[in-house]
Structure 1
Amino acid sequence: MHREFIEKLEVNPVIAAIKDDEGLAHALETDCEIIFILYGDVCTIPDIVQKIKSVDKVAMVHLDLITGLNNTKEISVDFIKNNTEADGIITTKGNLIGRAKELGLYTVLRYFVIDSMALVNIEKQDRHGISTPDVIEILPGIVLPKIIQRVNRASRVPVLAGGLISDRDDVMNALNNGVLAVSTTNEEVWQL
């Protein structure tokens, strides 16, 4: 586990998630120290990452959302490591976590908690220690406190919450129930 990444999340519990160039420009001006990149393609991602790194922020690339890299092949992780200054990756594909860790990248494994099977998958992943990420992120981030608590019990790594976080109450609900940090595209929440 990358302890320095966990420490950055502890100090910066609101993560700016960006989905376009306008969001990028705004995120660069905020106090958010960590930025989740949720857009781009194989040609634009090096420049997007470079802009984030130029203001000394942590750049995390969501591989599943980058056109040309959104496959299950480890070569997409290699591309990020060799062609960008990204600090890490975000993915829903557990098989990419191991390769990212081998390359020294921070790792976020995303889970969509839409039913009890999703919770079982989180428990399975953790029990078998298969490519354990630095953190997991559950979506939507506004899940019930008892679900957050169950995920925390099932996971050996810290938990983030993302998706549908729209105000201070959503942030505080997640943080007060054991989530380490939240990610959101809602620019008003970045200012909290």
Structure 2
Amino acid sequence: MHPLAETLLDEPVIAAVKTDEALTAALASPCSTIFLLASTLLTVDGLVHRIHDAGKLAVVHIDLVDGLSSREIAVDSLNALCHPDGIISTRPTLIRRARHRGLLTVQRAFILDSLSLTSLSGQLEQGKPDFVEILPGIMPRVIAEISTRTQVPVIAGGLLRDKADVMAAMRAGAAAVSTSAPSLWDI
């Protein structure tokens, strides 16, 4: 497991941000890790530096950096440009490349039906991420199933609206939760 994974496991509520206002709030929050879910090739460097200047981990959703391609070279480019602590991607090839570059890796998976649940194991085997983020995160039974079927720690994300949602995900086996709700960042 990546050395930074311990930080994430020790403080399992992750601020997920899409706007400058949300980033400002996340920087002032007790969260030690920030998932950057929206940026451009022109803004990502400054955003990552703001996160690092606050002493927090910056994990960039590479699929959502406007201006980057979906090819493996995008990982190298992002790493050279802004030195994030990790990346998030739905693409196993990008996860594998990031892992080889020494970055913390989070493979994001949308569990919409039984087919997406069944294909998840193969995707995780391809990418070998440090974490798998399951969306939506309000499915305790699915979180429990994935947690028992894989050695990859689960992050629950998406549609977590209150403390009860967070606690249900954690009780089901999630190692952490990512949320864009500032009211949950200090749980």
What's the TM-score once normalised by structure 1's chain length?
Answer: 0.94
Identity of aligned residues (%): 43
1:149 CA drift (Å): 1.2
Q: Which residue of 1 aligns with 2:78?
A: 80
Residue 142 (str. 1) matches residue 143 (str. 2): no
Q: Which residue of 2 aligns with 1:183?
A: 178
Task: Give the secondary structure class of the aligned counterpart of 1:36.
Answer: strand
> Do 2:104 and 2:130's aligned partners in 1 also have CA atoms closer than 8 Å?
yes
1:41 CA drift (Å): 0.1
Per-residue CA deviations over 1:85-134 (Å, capped at 9, x if unaligned) read 310100001110111011111100000011001111112234xx322000
Residue 40 (str. 1) matches residue 39 (str. 2): yes
Residue 166 (str. 1) matches residue 165 (str. 2): no
Report matched runs for 1:77-116 at 5 Å.
77-116=75-114
> Do 1:113 and 1:139's aligned partners in 2 also have CA atoms closer than 8 Å?
yes
Q: Which runs of 5+ in 2 are unaligned?
A: none
Amino acid at match of 1:138: I
Amino acid at match of 1:132: K
Q: Distance in 2 between matches of 1:26 and 1:104?
A: 29
What's the TM-score once normalised by structure 2's chain length?
Answer: 0.96
1:153 CA drift (Å): 2.1
Task: Give the secondary structure class of the aligned counterpart of 2:167.
Answer: helix
1:155 CA drift (Å): 1.7
Deviates more, 1:179-188 or 1:151-160: 151-160
Q: Distance in 2 between matches of 1:158 and 1:191?
A: 22
Q: Distance in 2 between matches of 1:29 and 1:72?
A: 32
Task: Give the secondary structure class of the aligned counterpart of 2:159.
Answer: coil
Per-residue CA deviations over 1:47-82 (Å, capped at 9, x if unaligned) read 00000000110000001111012x320111011110
> Do 2:5 and 2:104's aligned partners in 1 also have CA atoms closer than 8 Å?
no
Q: Distance in 1 between matches of 2:9 and 2:86?
A: 17
Per-residue CA deviations over 1:133-155 (Å, capped at 9, x if unaligned) read 00000000101x22111111222
Q: Which residue of 2 aligns with 1:65?
A: 64
Residue 49 (str. 1) matches residue 44 (str. 2): no
Task: Give the secondary structure class of the aligned counterpart of 1:160.
Answer: strand
> Do 1:152 and 1:159's aligned partners in 2 also have CA atoms closer than 8 Å?
yes
Amino acid at match of 2:75: V
Q: Distance in 1 between matches of 2:33 and 2:182?
A: 14
CA RMSD of aligned residues (A): 1.0
**Of 150, 155, 168, which aligns to 1:155?**
150
